[in-house]
Structure formats: C-alpha cells, structure tokens
Amino acid sequence: MIAARSSSVGRGGPEEPSRHRRQSVASLAGHRGYRNSQESNRDSHAQHQQGALLRARKAFLIREMETNWYLKLCGRAREDSVAYETGMPYRNLGKSGLRVSCLGLGTWVTFGGQISDEVAEQLMTIAYESGVNLFDTAEVYASGKAEVILGNIIKKKGWRRSSLVITTKLYWGGKAETERGLSRKHIIEGLKGSLQRMQLEYVDVVFANRPDSNTPMEEIVRAMTYVINQGMSMYWGTSRWTAMEIMEAYSVARQFNLIPPVCEQAEYHLFQREKVEVQLPELYHKIGVGAMTWSPLACGIITGKYENGIPESSRAAMKSYQWLKDKIVSEDGRKQQAKLKELGHIAEKLGCTLPQLAVAWCLRNEGVSSVLLGTSNAEQLTENLGAIQVLPKMTSHVVSDIDHILGNRPYSKKDYRS
C-alpha cells in the first residue's frame, strides 16, 4: 500500500508543477499579448491623431495660400481690413454669423441729453475710426432724439451702411397705451418709427427692451419674425429678460418654425456678475444666445470720480439720477469705493487706468460678444478704447487677484457639485 501510494505520488508528483508552469507561461504570454495589443492600439490612435492634425494643418495652409492668391488677383490683401488697421477684435454675436466689434458705443443719457450734437458726432467719429462698428440706441432714449442724432451723423459722415451694426430697442414709445409694450402692433409700428428717425432702411438687431407680461410670447416671437422677414431688421434680441423668458421665446420659435433671439443685453461690471457669468453661458451653449453688455463702469462708479463726493458735472448730480446718488453714498457704495482703491493698485501694476482695467475685465469673458461704452467726451472714449491693449494682460493670475478683492464671484450649481 505504501509502495503503491508512493508510486502513485511518484507518477503524479512530477507532472503537476509542469502543468502549472505551462498554464503560467500561457497566462503570462496572454497578458503580454493583451498589454502589447493595448500599447499598439494607443500607438495607433496617437499616430491617427497626429496624422489628422497634420492633414488639418496642411488643408489650412492650402486654404490660406488660395485665399491670398485670390485676394492678390482681385488687387486686395488681408491687410485691407479695419481689424488689421485698427487692432479692434471682432466677435460673433452669440452663435449667429454677425461680426461685431468687441467694444460698441451706446447712446443712453448722452445723445440728445447730456451732450451736444457736435460732441456726439465727435464720439461716433472716434469710435468708427478706431474700428467700432456697433452703435446702440433705443426709441426711449431722449424720447427718440438719440435715434435722430445717430441717423443724422451716419448720413452726414457718409459711412457705408454695410460697414455698420446698428441696434435699437423697443418697449417705451409714446404716451398712448398702444405705443408701448411688445404687442405685434407696437413692435411693427415702433420699429417703423425708429427707422424713420434714423433715416435707415433696416437695423441689424432690434431688441425687446424688457419682458412684457401683457403680451403672449407667441405674439412677440411672431412679430419679431415678421419684421425680420420684411427686411426691417436682420436679427432680434432681448434686454433685461430672465433666462427662463429667453428660453421660452426660443421654445416658441422652434415649435412654430419662427426665428429665435440671438442675443441678450445685460448689465455687467465688477459689481454685477451673476447673470452674465452663470445664466447666459448656459443659454449660449444650449441655444446660442450671446451677451451684449452695458454699463461696464457701473454708471461711472468704477471710474473713481465719486471717491470724494458727487461732482456737479457727473451723472449722479442730475435730478433724474437720485437713485444713483443714493447708491453711491450708501454703506454698500462706500464698501465699493474701498475695493476700487485696491483695484487701482492692480491697474497701476498693469500700466493702465481703473476704467481700462474694468472694461478689459468685462472683455476677458469670452461669453461676452460686445461691451457697450457710454461716454460724454472724447477723452473718456479714447481712454476706454485703450482697454483693448490691456486685454492681453488679463491673465488668470490677474483675474484671480481681482476676484479676491471683490469677493463676489458667482457660482453655478455645477460648480458646487464639482
């Protein structure tokens, strides 16, 4: 029994390790093969990506050569452009194809009110010659006088209409109940009135100057679609609308095969950030609505001129701007002035003024299609236009320092989840 068992062990003993070794070798070989296969796939993918990049670059260079060749045949060159001559950057208005200067000139308070017609012409001339192609107004500005002055200047200067982007806003027209709001009647008649005052055949963008709870959204969108189809406007947008209202307009347009808005006009500056930095980016990615922002200097607060009180020549000294004066002298206003002093140190390091820093800060947001400037004299406008040179200096480190001073960076729900 012992011998038999021993014989059995002797027969089976030497075979077991051999079988394990064969299995281990096979397993190792399989693992190596899998690993080699993975590495081969990665190498193949990397080579494919590299090849695709090379092909794309080659195609780009070929297109560039063809473009330069074509322009040369036509007696033109890439340098024959306002962007090249002035250094003004241009951006798409939302996801539309309309190219607008990243800085525009607004006419609120100034045209027809705070400044003379001669100064208005001087401002528009400086802006246009600096590469600005966007000029914004509204039927309510100076009771329509701003539109008249804007139109007179365009006609006098003889600028090509195709080189301009003119926008106006509708809501407050005349005193009659039917001359205000966003009814089909007022949108059509109001825009006709604006065109007559500006002596133009069309505007590039017509804005709904505020939401209208008395008019169905479908009626608003149908009326905007009508004026576009009639050639009275190229696009339409919203101003002071909530993200929910803009989304409703878009949904109605898609439901009835109408034209949706392309842009929202919103207040945006160092002390007002939530809407432009949280709400509008989501709308841009979902439905292509861009942002055209106004009041980059917070009605002059950010210029620092209210640090030691209210100057007599300032906007806050005007009777109709008591609300601005109250805001400046409030506790929050004093806190803002303290923060502006700190921001002034950053401006000094960058070699610019505080207004230039503030405007460049707005422009550093890639979701902003254009920032509307409102100035009352040539010196202010020239200074603000200088923000273009400050923009390249707005590094992540500089922006982080500004955020630290302000302490008001808004966060979306996605930021909290991450």
Q: In whole angstroms, what is the distance from residue 91 CA to residue 265 CA?
A: 15
Of 176, 265, 261, the C-alpha closest to 217 is 261
Is residue 178 within 8 A of residue 215, CB to CB? The reply is: no
- 298-303, long-range: CB < 8 A, 24+ apart: 298/269, 298/270, 298/271, 298/272, 299/324, 301/271, 301/327, 301/328, 301/333, 301/336, 301/340, 302/269, 302/270, 302/271, 302/340, 302/354, 302/355, 302/358, 303/354, 303/355
Residue tagged 């006098």 (tokens): 156
Q: How far apart are CA 261 and CA 263, in angstroms?
A: 6
Q: Which residues contact 342 (CB under 8 A, 6 or more apart)?
A: 405
CA dihedral 219, 220, 223, 229 (to 10 degrees): -120
3 state DSSP class of 224: helix
- The two tokens of residue 158 are 């003889």
Buried-state track 351-363, b at ≥16 Cβ within 10 A, e below 16: ebbbbbbbbbbbb
Tell me the residue ranges of DSSP E strands in 340-393. 368-373
Coil vs helix vs strand at 234:
strand
Report CA dihedral (348, 349, 355, 357) to the nearest 10 degrees. Answer: -170
3-class secondary-structure state, position 91: strand
Angle at the Cα of 316 (from 328 to 371), degrees rounded to 5?
85
296 neighbors 268 (Cβ within 8 angstroms): yes
The type of residue at 304 is G
Question: Which amino acids are annotated catalytic?
Answer: 141
